[in-house]
């Protein structure tokens, strides 16, 4: 890549934290006090990715795609979404899809309190430094979804967060969500989706870098 490194996909889980992206305004979409968060052991961190506030924690599979991007950010985001869609299909959720106008991956809307609510299963946000992507995907597998009640996730008031485990339960599917299975599905999906990806940085090559 820009510094001669290799493209890398990191799959991890984080302790319970809230992260504030570049669109976040301090406290605007956090609906509890910092003291309450501290008492729950939930940290708050400003990060360089795009988007607003979101939650990361145990049971959420976070994929850091440290890939060359150059000026292809929009195309790269679509490939991240497709990777998640493919992984969720492998996990038995074939109706997952991107939602035009919003970053991330969703399953069909549900009625909540008499109103339709988007059902978001994976969040996507990236930063680009020296033509290389940082951050990536947060896919809820067995996440404690109650923690999303501490915020307005991604600043979207018409959206409810869901998870693979919750979808299995609501749909009556005889499956158990596990992190090893989710990791294998997402890693395989990245391999398939990025199979024909141009791993060079044409902007840098043209400049002789």
Query: Catalytic positions, please?
Result: 154
At 54, give phi and psi (nearest 5°).
Answer: -145, 170
Q: Where are the beta strands (DSSP E) in the chain?
A: 8-12, 17-20, 43-46, 53-56, 60-66, 97-99, 102-112, 115-129, 132-140, 159-161
Q: Report CA Rg, the chain.
A: 17
Per-position DSSP letters for 100-128, written without gaps between them: TTEEEEEEEEEEETTEEEEEEEEEEEEEE
């Amino acid at each position: 890549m820009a510094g001669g490194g290799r493209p890398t996909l990191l799959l991890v889980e984080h302790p319970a934290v809230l992260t504030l992206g570049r669109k976040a305004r301090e406290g605007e979409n956090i609906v509890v006090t910092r003291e309450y968060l501290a008492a729950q052991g939930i940290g708050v961190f400003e990060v360089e990715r795009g988007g607003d506030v979101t939650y990361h924690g145990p049971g959420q599979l976070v994929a850091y795609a440290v890939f060359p991007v150059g000026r292809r950010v929009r195309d790269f985001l679509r490939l991240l979404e497709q990777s998640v869609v493919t992984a969720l299909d492998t996990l038995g959720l074939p109706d997952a899809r991107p939602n035009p106008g919003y970053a991330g991956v969703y399953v069909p809307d549900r009625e909540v309190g008499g109103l339709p609510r988007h059902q978001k299963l994976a969040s996507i946000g990236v930063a680009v430094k020296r033509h290389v992507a940082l951050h990536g995907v947060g896919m809820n597998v067995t996440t404690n979804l109650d923690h999303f009640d501490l915020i307005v996730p991604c600043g979207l008031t018409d959206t409810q967060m869901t998870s693979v485990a919750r979808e299995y339960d609501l749909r009556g599917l005889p499956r158990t969500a596990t992190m090893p299975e989710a990791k294998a599905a997402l890693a395989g999906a990245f391999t398939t989706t990025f199979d024909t990806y141009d791993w060079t940085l044409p902007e840098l090559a043209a400049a002789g870098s």
